[in-house]
Each structure stands twice: as structure tokens, then as C-alpha cells.
Amino acid sequence: MTLGELPQNFRQQLQPLQTSILRTTEALRNRLAAEVRHPTLTHPPPPVSQTVAEFQAPAFLPARGAILDFVTGADVKTIQEIGTKLFESLFQQDVYLLYKSALDAAHEATGKHLSIKLYAEPPELAYIPWETLYDKRGFHLCCTGTTLFARTATVNDEDLYIYDKPPIRILGVISAPKSFIGTPHELNTYAEQAALNLTLGSFSKDVKLGWTTAGTYRELARRLTKGDDGARWDVLLFIGHGVPGHIVLEKDGGNEYEFLKAEDLQGLLWQPLGPRLVILNSCRGAQSESGDRFASTAEILVRSGPIAAVIAMQFDISDIMGTTFSPAFFTNLMYNVSVQHAMYLTRLDLRRQGFSEWISPVLYMQNKDGMVVRPSAAAGGGSQ
């Protein structure tokens, strides 16, 4: 279909958006201080165009903990304005009529929804925050259960599922290089790990959560190769830092860090005992370098292969948001719903708490319907 013209400076508008959503998180610091503590940072965010070659951690690390020392302010209006421009460009004429007809039918039917999967192939469209899409009748498509939204990296829908029967096996990886301790880039990973252990503990019959002993390449390769005592891992959760096309791991045998390319991470994950759902709770895992269609880590992981879905962040995210996101998502995933539905509920939860960063997570899907458990297992009483 034909896309309407966007403002010429649209890409440049995204950096102020990044700054604005982090401002909103700064407003939450006092209210959430009793639960999550992180020192105030005074470093501005790095430019979006920053590459690995320019990366000089810790001074220029786009830290997942970058809660900036700005004046408090919400950014609802800016997100709506950008979302409105995108909606008007995407849903034109016949496309809008088709969308409206399908949405009206979903509203009229009990238990029905309109599933929207966006495939944006041209390189110049890969960077756009489609999660802000705002229907002119007054709602974000990502924040209503009638319009379940996801992106896709291919035009093929595969019969892929996250797991076959309970328990769902989750492997958590925390990458926290010792050289970041005491710097602005030290993350509050203990809070997130504790929150996940507490949250998933209430689903002990349906969930098995394991953690790597270190955030190194060698430990990650070992756990993915061996599985969970020979059983396949269903979900991989990565907690740490990222730049476009790479995650940051602890360096073997030292205090430093190293970059792992998305292609090499893909190679590790595409093993017989590798996961079907990957969650990158780190900065810019869903962000592509300018002009490169498949530079984002999320797209590389989900394109073809055995992975059903990837969730990654398209912006730098605050440490507080990262710590809040994982427990909320996994709680919602246990509600016997699709991955898209769990993401919609998680966005609502974040927005309810005052996070403008609800627009940061991006869901890429390769499975056709987003269902979590294989249908034969669900019929036998498994939870989805």
C-alpha cells in the first residue's frame, strides 16, 4: 500500500521524543524510590546515530539506567501528535475504510479483536516508532485490546509456539560488567531479579526460572547448548546494555565488557534447545542504523529460523522502567492470552504508572497468531 508523506524532519523529531519520555520517568523517581533506587545521572543521552565504533564505555554508554536530571514533565501530547501523523500517513482512503470496517466488526462481536501486524520493508521506515499510532477517534492502537498490534520482519506466518506444555522454562541473563560499578552506567539488576523471582514464584507450577551464573558469552553458550537439564529453554530474558545491532556482555576472565553482534547471538539462540521467545530488556535492541533495513537486533533474531517472537526496546530506557517491565509482562503472559495481548496489558500497566516509555517496547512476531502454547497442549489443560 502507499504511505502518505511524513514531515521531512520526522527522524530529527525522535531525539526530542527520547528526551521527553525520559523526563517523565524522572517524575516517577520520588514515588518509586521506596521500591527502586538509582542515582541521578547528569550525562545527556548519546546521539541516535552512534555506532559501536564510536562507543567508549562507560563515558558514552547508552545506559539502560539513564534517568536524566531534567525538569519533570509528561509527554502525552507529543506522543499523540507523532502517533496521529503516522496514523494519517498509514491509513489512507481505502486502507482506512478497510481498517474501520474490520474494527467495527471486532467491536460488535463478543470476544473478538482486530490483529494488526505491520511489515515495513523500506529502510527509511524501519526507524519509525509505529507503536505510537493514534486513531483520530481518540486511542493508541497499542493500548486497546480490540486492536492487538505487532510488527513482523517477514511476510511469512509460521506455526511456531513458545512452549508445548507447562512449565514454561525461562533463562535469565544479567550482563553487569564490574567496570560499570560505581559509574552512571551501573544498573539496578538486583531489583529486577528479585522482582521477577517474587512475581514468578506465584506461578511455580507453570513456570521454571533459571539464571546464568555470569553474563559472559561462554556462560550463555553453555546454558543454551545444555538446556535446562536437557529440556529446551522456552524464553530468554536479557538484562543489560545494548546498542543497535549488538548486546553488551561481560568479558570472560575480567572486569570489562564486549559486544556481541546480533548475527552471533542469533547463531547461539538457533540451537535445538534454544528459546522461542526472546526479550531484550536493554537499550535500542529494536533500533536500526540509518539506511540498514536489518540492523536491529530484534529483526535479525526473529527473521526466519525457530524464534516465534522477540520483544526489544526502540529507545534508551530508564532503569526504573526496565525493572518494572519484566515482572509486568510475565504476569500478563500467564493470563492465558496471546503474546500481543500480554504486550497490550503491559503497555497499559506502564502507562497507568505514569511511564511515557510504554512506547519503547517493540514486539516482532513470526508466529501467525501469537498464541503461546501449542494448541494440543492447551486442549489438554496447559496454560497459555
Tens digit of pLDDT for each residue in 94-134?
899 999 999 999 999 888 899 999 988 776 677 789 999 99
DSSP class per residue in 255-280: S-EEEEEHHHHHHHHSSTT--SEEEE
Secondary-structure class of domain 1-384 per CATH:
alpha beta
Q: In whole angstroms, what is the distance from residue 286 CA to residue 278 CA?
A: 12
Q: In whole angstroms, what is the distance from residue 68 CA to residue 240 CA?
A: 18
Residue-wise pLDDT tens digits, 66-77: 333 333 344 788
Closest CA to 235 of 297, 162, 302, 305: 162
Q: In whole angstroms, what is the distance from residue 291 CA to residue 124 CA?
A: 6
Grid coordinates given for 84: 496521529
What pTM value is reported for the model?
Answer: 0.86
Residue 293 confidence (pLDDT): 55
Per-residue burial over 233-247, b = 16 or more CB atoms within 10 Å of its CB, e = otherwise: bbbbbbbbbbbbbbb
Residue-wise pLDDT tens digits, 23-56: 666 656 555 554 443 333 333 333 334 445 545 4
Residue-wise pLDDT tens digits, 312-347: 998 888 888 888 999 999 999 998 899 999 999 999
State which H helix or E strand residue 135 sits in.
Answer: strand 134-135
Residue 43 confidence (pLDDT): 36
Residue 4 confidence (pLDDT): 64
Per-residue pLDDT at 369 exceeds 80: no
Grid coordinates given for 263: 548475527
Residue-wise pLDDT tens digits, 122-176: 766 777 899 999 998 999 999 999 999 999 887 777 778 888 889 999 999 999 9
Closest CA to 219 of 247, 252, 196, 246: 252
